[in-house]
């Protein structure tokens, strides 16, 4: 069996959809078992919400985050059960960093479900409902976007939140400020502006109060030494020190996600293929815009799982 130098990556908010993982659940009982464990922590039926919706309820941050975490962990467990190769390096986009840390053995799954549900609640409470939004700016240099955000809005209104790819930057802030910046970006040459399926402006200064409260909860949770290297969002760093990992999760709430740099770092580590573990294919699609000779596969249903296992099965690395 040919050995591949690959990494696993885990998606964040925006990848959720009602009915996700349905065909995997029809083939693998562990999917509903994982969601049942999450439901025990949350106090409501998470699988029913994922299976039936409504979309508006699933898109509420404190519902979205545990739903996506449980989805990624379920797929990862199926992967392990079927002798899928394990990577030496992982990364997760925003919320996906928690998924990566569970898979790397840093966090207990139930602890992580508790944390991301709390994280989502704190994020919702930090900004009045309906006032904060995020938007992806496509096809415009981040320096131009930064200047627009600075010039068009009062300080503290809109921020650069995600550096997803050289041609995609996400801005976050108050709704009116993000809309003004979006219009200005189109006028400056952006190809498109897409409003994200999120209910809070993540990864900016508006989340600092939420981060302080999350920090208190994180201090009560056991963090283990990672089994695999995990690149964090904040400074594109790999650390095996639990306290540094804990601190990075606090900073992540109000700091930009440096995803493009994270993928480039994986490339320098010899990674040639990414496996996206979770609903959707956002990260797989971004890959070709970041490192042109890196390929990616999104594992989100029975067909894609079978395809990936055919190429990445064997003795664990």
Supply the residues annotated as catalytic: 94, 203
What is the distance between the alpha carbons of residues 296 and 287, in angstroms, rounded to a whole number? 7
What is the distance between the alpha carbons of residues 93 and 249, in angstroms, rounded to a whole number? 12
CA 251 from chain centre, in angstroms, equals 15
Show the tokens assigned to 216: 């208190």
What is the distance between the alpha carbons of residues 116 and 179, in angstroms, rounded to a whole number? 28
CA distances 267 to 100, 288, 290, 293, Å, are: 18, 12, 10, 9
Across the chain, which distance is largest between two alpha carbons, in Å? 58
What is the distance between the alpha carbons of residues 317 and 87, in angstroms, rounded to a whole number? 7
237 Cβ contact partners less than 8 Å away, ≥ 6 residues apart? 231, 244, 248
Burial class of residue 272, CB neighbours in 10 A (0-12, 13-18, 19+): middle
């Amino acid at each position: 069996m040919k050995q591949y130098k690959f990494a696993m990556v885990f998606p964040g908010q925006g990848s959720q959809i009602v009915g996700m993982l349905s065909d995997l659940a029809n083939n693998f009982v562990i999917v509903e078992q994982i969601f049942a464990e999450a439901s025990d922590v949350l106090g409501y039926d998470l699988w029913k919400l994922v299976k039936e919706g409504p979309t508006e309820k699933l898109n509420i941050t404190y519902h979205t985050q545990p739903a996506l975490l449980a989805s990624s962990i379920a797929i990862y467990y199926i992967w392990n059960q079927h002798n899928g190769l394990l990577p030496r390096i992982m990364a997760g986009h925003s919320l996906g960093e928690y998924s990566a840390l569970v898979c790397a053995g840093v966090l207990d799954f139930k602890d992580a479900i508790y944390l991301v549900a709390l994280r989502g609640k704190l994020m919702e409470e930090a900004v009045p409902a309906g006032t904060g939004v995020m938007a992806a700016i496509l096809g415009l240099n981040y320096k131009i976007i930064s200047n627009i955000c600075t010039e068009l809005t009062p300080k503290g209104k809109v921020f650069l939140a995600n550096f997803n790819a050289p041609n995609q930057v996400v801005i976050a802030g108050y709704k009116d400020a993000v809309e003004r910046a979006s219009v200005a970006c189109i006028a400056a040459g952006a190809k498109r502006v897409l409003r994200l399926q999120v209910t809070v402006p993540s990864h900016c200064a508006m989340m600092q109060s939420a981060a302080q409260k999350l920090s208190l909860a994180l201090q009560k949770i056991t963090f283990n030494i990672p089994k695999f290297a995990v690149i964090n969002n904040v400074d594109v760093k790999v650390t095996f020190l639990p306290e540094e990992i804990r601190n990075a999760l606090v900073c992540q709430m109000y700091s930009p996600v440096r995803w493009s740099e994270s993928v480039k770092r994986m490339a320098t580590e010899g990674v040639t293929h990414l496996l996206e573990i979770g609903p959707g294919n956002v990260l797989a699609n971004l890959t070709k815009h970041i490192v042109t000779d890196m390929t990616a596969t999104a594992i989100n249903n029975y067909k894609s799982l079978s395809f990936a296992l055919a190429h990445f099965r064997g003795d664990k690395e």
